[in-house]
Structures are given as C-alpha cells and as structure tokens.
Amino acid sequence: MTIAPERTEQTTASGQVGRSMRRVDAGEKLRGEAQYVGDMIVPGMLHGKVLRSPVAHARIVSIDASEALAMPGVVCVLTGEDFKDQDQFWGHALKDRPIVAAGVVRFVGEPVAAVAAVDEATAEAAVKAIYVEYDELPLVGTVDEALAPDAPLVHTDPTRPGLFHGLGTLPERDGNICYSYELNKGDAAAAFAKADIVVEGTYEFPGIYQYAMETHTVIAQVDSRGITLWATCQHPFLVRAEIAALFGQPLGSVRIIVPYLGGGFGSKSYTKMEPITVALARKARRPVRISNRVDESMATTRRSGAKITMRTAASNDGKLIGRDVKVWFDTGAYADNGPRVTATGADSAPGPYRWEGVHVDAYCVYTNTAPSGSYRAFGASQLQWAGDLQIDEIAHRAGIDPVEIRRMNLLRPGEELRHGGKPMDADLVGDIEKVAAALGWDRPKDPDTGRGVSVGVLAAGAHPVSSAIARMEADGDVYVLVGSTEMGQGQRTAFAQIAGEVLAMPAERVHCEGTDTKFTPYDRSTGASRSTTLAGLAVARAAEEVRKDLLAIAERFWPEPGAPIELRDGAAWCGTERRTYPELIAKRFGLSGGQLVGEADVHPAGTGSYAEGPVFWEICMAAAEVHVDRRTGRVTVLRTATVADVGRAINPQLVERQDEGATMQGIGNALYEEMVFADGRLLNDTLLDYRIPTIADLPVQSACVIVENGDGPGPFGSKGCGEGAFAGIIGALATAVADAGVPVRALPLTPERVWRAMSEQQEEEHR
C-alpha cells in the first residue's frame, strides 16, 4: 500500500505545529516498555472471572455457588444477592443495566456471577462450578421481532435517565423502543409532491465488533480511602462519576488511572467492566483484576446494527429537493450509548445538501442481543452509505456525473444543516474536487471496475468541556496535565506540539503523561474527534498563561518601556540579547528552583445543549475504486482517497495515519465484518470466525488529502479528524460496487452477497 503525497508541511512561527514530529510514545512502545492495565500487578491482587449467561432471555430460578466457594484459593463469589440493599443499576444514557443480572438475563453473555480467586486458573474453574437454573423466556433477536405488535418486552421497569443522557426530555419507552428522535426541515411532503425522480429502498447495516487489540481490563481496589481503578477507559472522568454515584462515594474518593490504551474506537467509551470489578473487589476486600477474552469483549459492547428505509426526491436536472428517512438502531439488551447514536444518525441522514424538505424518524430499539455503543463515526457510518446510493441512482437517471451532482447540491459555508445548530463550517465543494482528483476520477476504466464517492457530515466535539495545566520546571522543561486518553491516536504528541508552539520551544521538551483523576484536571471525554480541538485548546490556553509569566519576568531584565521582547527557541530575546527560560525562572524565585504554572479550561459559550452544537462538523468524505469478480462476487479495493478537512494539521503524519486506519476499518465494515446472531446467540465470537481486513486486503494506493483552511475552533484553527474518513470509505465502497453494476442494499459486501445480487439481476433480465 502506498500513501500518495498530497501536501508540503506548513509549520507555524515557532515551527512546532505543522511538522510531522516523531510520536513521543514511539520509543517505549517499540521497546515494549509501555504499560497497559493488563501489565500491572497491584500488591495482594486477586484475579476475577465472570460467569456469563448461556441463554438470551430467562428468569434466574436459582444460583448454587457452594461448590465454587469450597474450592481452595477462591476468596468470594458475587451474585445478585449482594445488592439487596443497593440500587445496582447504572448507565450513562438510561439507568437500565445491573452490575450482575437482577433476577433476569437479557442477552447471551450477560454477567450472572463473578469469582475472585488467587489465580486465573482457579477463578476459571470456580466459575464453571457455579450452577444456575434458568427459566427461559420468549426473546426478540432482531429489530423486526422487537417491533412486532405482540413482541415480548426486553424491559418492563420504568425508564430512568442516566447521569449523562444529555438529549433533552426523556420520552416514555414505547414497547421495545427506548428512545426516539425526530428531525424536520422545511416541508418534506411538498418536496416529494413536486419531484420528477424519487428513489426509495430499505437498507441493512449489521452489528460490528470494534476490535481494539487490547480487550477490556480493569483492576479495582476498595479500601478506607475510597475506590481506585486502573481501567481501559476512554472517558475516565465520566466513569468516575458513574462509579461514585453507583457506590455512594464522593467524587474525590474515586480515582481512575488510565495508562496507555491498546485501541478504543468507542469500545471503551463510558462505563463498561468497572462496576462489576469494583463490586467484586469490595466483597473480596482485596484488589481484583478482570480481563476479558475477545468473546467477552464482544458481549460487552459492539456497534449498533441498523435498518433504514429511505426516500430521496429530485428534479430532472439533478436538484435534490427532499428526503424522508426512518431508521431503527439495534441497541441490544441495554441502552449504552444507543440514544446518542440514534440522534447523531438522524442528524447525519440528510447529508450536507440543500433540501426543500427533510423528515427523519430515528428509533433506538432493545433486542435480546449484546449491548451496542459507540464506534468510530457512529450514526454517520450507518446512514451515509444508503444516502449515497440513492444520490448515485438519481445521478444515473438524470444523466449527471456522481461528483457533479454532489457539487451542485452541497451546502456552502454558513448554510444551515440543523435548525438552531451550528451552520456548515467547511468548503465541501473544494473538498470533493480534491478527493476526486486524488482518486483519478476521470481515468478510463473497464466494465468490471467501479468508482464511488461519498460525502457526509458528523456532529463532532461532544460536550465542550476540557481543562489543562501546563507546568514549566526550573530547567525549562514543560509538563502538561490533561485528562484526555492516549489510545493510539497520538494525542500526547499533538499536545506537546501545541504547548511547544505557544511557548516557542521544542516540543520534544514538553511531556504529557496518562490520566489520573486525582491529579489531572477534568476532561469530559476522549471521543467524537474532540481531543485536539477541545483538550488541545485547553492546553494552548494553559501554555499561554505560562507564556505571559515568562514575558512579565523578561521585562525585569530589560526594563526600558516598550522594549520589544519576543520568545523563541526556548528563550526571551530583546534585540540580540537572550535570556533562557531557566534564567527567567531563577530571576523570579531568586534561585535555581520554583516553577511556572498555567491553568485553563474550555467550556460552552451557550448552554452546552446538544441542539446548539456541534463544536464542529467533521467532514465524512472519501472516494474508492474497486474491481468486482463476476464469477465469484469478490470485491477487490484498488484505490482509495480520503479528505482530512482539519482546519490546521498539528502533525500531518498523525493525520495521515488516522485516515489510513479509518480506511482499513472502513474496508472491514463495508466488505467483511458482521456479527451473526441466531436466537440472540452470537455465532462468530472468535477472530477465526469474525473476519477483519488484513494487509492483503488494503488497496495498492491510498491518498489522504489534508485540507487546511484554518476554519476550526481548535488551536491554530484546527479541527479533529479520523472518524470522517471511516464513514466516507464505507459509502465510497458501496457506491463503487454499484457503479460496477451491482447495487447491494445490505452490508457487508461479501462475495456471497455480491454474487447473489448479480444472480438476481441476471434472473430479472431473463424475465
């Protein structure tokens, strides 16, 4: 795979921002010195294992743990009986999930009990020695089954909002629909009434496993000082709040420590394995570690599957005028992040086009399957490809090139996407021209080759609250404290470059460690492409406070009024005279000691409500070229191109690597990946059966076009990236396969599915 060069690095005044600096964590990761939670051993630590339900929906008649408790080395067994005096339900969107099953199991893999023992082998043996009697109940394994008039209910208790619902008034549950969201703009009915061309269809997007290489792992310690967790979590401060509320602790007595994460992609968003680990450690009165196997992580969280019905209306000259969408997201047995996915998906459904009327109904549906949550570009990934297929069909009927029809209808900067929300903040027309050129859109191609393009937007930034502290030591080195999680995206490197730029010093002398909620300041979360934009802005502002101190001290060296003083190369300059930062600090404190500290935050300018957002619109744009084997249905990806519309690239190479990873994952989602359930049971719960892309599946050529218009809300005009390319690649591959003559309305585009679509086409032609 080759990455086509698309830009010349453009550095800022201090030369730190805009250069492809080596990752600050590269050395220790390559040497195997980087620590992950699974590498850690806490003194006195026990090993925990979870007994998971083998059935999808049942009442628990009885649990007999006597044999397990009698085994040497077993310290305790945790069951629902341990929570008679405590509300054990949690959930950031809806408070609907118990620590261990509370009398009823709702999916295969739900925790029923947990064991703490002196070693993993003993804990595993003890779990197998626990006997549970189940009385099976009728189940709903799919969205269609869940929506049937006489469908069994997954939940019957009253709906309760979670700590971080954040989506306005919580509607009452409607059967198995736990949340709904409606989007209206203009008059959709009138738009369809005047249309010359109407395209409609039903589309299916499967449940998908996020597959971070590191599975969920948590160490919990409960003692007189409170609760300490070493956890694989993307949102440590939100997990802290959840644990504090669940176990009745003050926020300050819950401590979350996050070292490196071995990938997240949304699988480690919000709370996951932390509650059961804390409860087990509390009962054992010793630290406990629980580390999931892959199949257990697949039962812990996944991407929501979706069923979509969509209609798109246009005039004969290719003007898009109306869109009507209904989408049902399969959130599994518990809500997790399903409501947010539902709202974001609805916002993404129209795409960034001018419409006379749009109507979207989106529903979050319970089923008796593993809970669904976040995964890169959630909502947009499920909806965008379906909209792209319909726009391409309109282009075909109107005799217009697919790139041209989008260029005609795309929103311009400042135009409205969602009523009351932030208007379009990017040059979409410029972006699509660049991505088409990077792919070679106008090159000749053979009949078995297809080209596709995809354009969408994603509401990015999440809730805009981040804090940071910058501390300059007496030797001039800087330590940045920020609560954002490093999970492979390179944010510690980006933060070092941001602080180095503000302080006019080499970024290599800026150090950023992992999150420890006892010491690092508050950061809302790591996700929604927000770290560089929001946490990075807090870092820049904190560094600016230190910069002000340095300039104030420098004025004591050169007291002439109005003397021009500037900071560069780690020193203050007045003409040709120079004072290093250590000299300035010594001047302040009268000795070679002391430190300069800057603290700053980012917070909403308005109420911070979802309706006012997003912080920025992330552009989901890509193009792809594929070859379809007419004999086997196999799709080979030949070329891809993505747009990283980042405002300003803090580190261009990191931007390219983000889009490269998004391309690889997008290929997996579009062509291979699918969680296959039967009666609520996952049939492909190993990485032998669950197909992910390998190096052999990557395109020969992949271009990342970095667009820098300085129009982002982050430091130096930056915006986040990495999610948009993911949704764009899925759409580009779907439209490319359709361009090769095989429109398919269900993902993934496996050889079997493509072959069957071709066979059905041939039968239709013969008729």
Dump pLDDT digits (tens) for 114-143: 999 999 999 999 999 999 999 999 999 999
In a domain? residue 185: no
Task: Tell the burial category of 437 from Cβ atoms under 10 Å away from its Cβ (0-12, 13-18, 19+).
Answer: middle
Q: For the chain, how many structural domains are there in total?
A: 2
Higher pLDDT, 170 or 447: 447
Q: What is the CATH number of the domain that holds 653?
A: 3.30.365.10
Q: What's residue 61's pLDDT?
A: 98
In a domain? residue 507: yes
| Cis upstream peptide for 561 (omega within 30°) | no
| DSSP result, 255-283 | EEEE---S--TTTTSS-SSHHHHHHHHHH
Host domain of residue 557: 463-602
Whether residue 580 is found in the same domain as residue 525: yes
| pLDDT at position 184 over 90 | yes
Whether residue 656 is found in the same domain as residue 767: yes
The helix or strand, by DSSP H or E, that contains position 147, with its residue range, turns out to be helix 143-147
Whether residue 457 is found in the same domain as residue 470: no
In a domain? residue 53: no
Whether residue 584 is found in the same domain as residue 653: no
Q: Indicate the SS3 state at residue 343.
A: helix
Q: What is the per-residue pLDDT across 10-65, written as a single tens digit (0 to 9) for each?
A: 777 889 999 999 999 999 999 999 999 999 999 999 999 999 999 999 999 999 99
Whether residue 566 is found in the same domain as residue 637: no
* Single pTM value for the model: 0.95
In a domain? residue 576: yes
In a domain? residue 656: yes
Count other C-beta atoms under 10 Å from residue 577's C-beta: 12
Whether residue 455 is found in the same domain as residue 517: no
DSSP 173: P
Q: What's residue 397's pLDDT?
A: 97
Q: How far is CA 748 from the centre of its chain?
A: 20
In a domain? residue 215: no
Whether residue 652 is found in the same domain as residue 595: no
Whether residue 627 is found in the same domain as residue 533: no
CA end-to-end distance (rounded Å), the chain: 43
Whether residue 652 is found in the same domain as residue 622: yes
CB-based contact 648:710 (threshold 8 Å): yes
* Rounded Cα–Cα distance for residues 486 and 512 (Å): 10
Whether residue 576 is found in the same domain as residue 682: no
In a domain? residue 121: no
Q: How confident is the model at residue 763 (pLDDT cuts 50, 70, 90)?
A: confident
Whether residue 591 is found in the same domain as residue 550: yes
User: Mean pLDDT across the stretch 490-518?
Assistant: 96
Q: Indicate the SS3 state at residue 295.
A: helix
Whether residue 673 is found in the same domain as residue 586: no
| pLDDT at position 377 over 80 | yes
| pLDDT at position 2 over 80 | no
* Rounded Cα–Cα distance for residues 195 and 215 (Å): 50
Helix residue spans in 399-488 (DSSP H): 402-409, 428-439
In a domain? residue 125: no
* Rounded Cα–Cα distance for residues 469 and 540 (Å): 10
Q: What's residue 172's pLDDT?
A: 80
Q: How confident is the model at residue 611 (pLDDT cuts 50, 70, 90)?
A: low
Q: What's residue 8's pLDDT?
A: 55
Q: What's residue 6's pLDDT?
A: 46
Which residue, chain included where needed, has tokens 């000259």?
A: 317
> What is the edge-to-edge ordering of all strands in the sheet holding 320-332?
177-186, 357-366, 320-332, 305-314, 197-205
User: Mean pLDDT across the stretch 261-279?
Assistant: 95
Bridge partners (DSSP) of residue 580 are 571
Count other C-beta atoms under 10 Å from residue 710's C-beta: 10
